[in-house]
Amino acid sequence: SGPIVDLAGAQRSNLKMFAKFFRTCLKRGVYFAPSQFETGFISTAHSRENIEQTGVVLREALAELRL
C-alpha cells in the first residue's frame, strides 16, 4: 500500500486484479493497455460520448470487482 515511487513498488502490484479489471472493461467495449505498467491517454479523437461511456464502464468495473 502507499504511493508507487520506484520499480520495486510497481512490481508489487496485483497482476491478477489488473487482469480482471482489464477483461471486465474489455467485455464492456473499453480497451485499455493490457499491462498495468503502460499509460493510457485521452485525445481529440475521443468524443465527449466516448469519455462519458468510459467513465460509466470504469464505475461498473470497479463496482463489479468491489474496488
**Does residue 32 sit within a domain?**
yes
pLDDT tens per residue, range 9-49: 888 889 999 999 999 999 999 999 999 989 999 999 999 99
Structural domain count, the chain: 1
**Does residue 2 sit within a domain?**
no
**Does residue 1 sit within a domain?**
no
* Rounded CA separation 34/23 (Å): 9
pLDDT band at 67 (very low <50, low <70, confident <90, very high): confident
CATH number at residue 37: 3.90.1150.10
* Rounded CA separation 29/31 (Å): 6
pTM summary value: 0.82
Domain limits at 33? 7-64
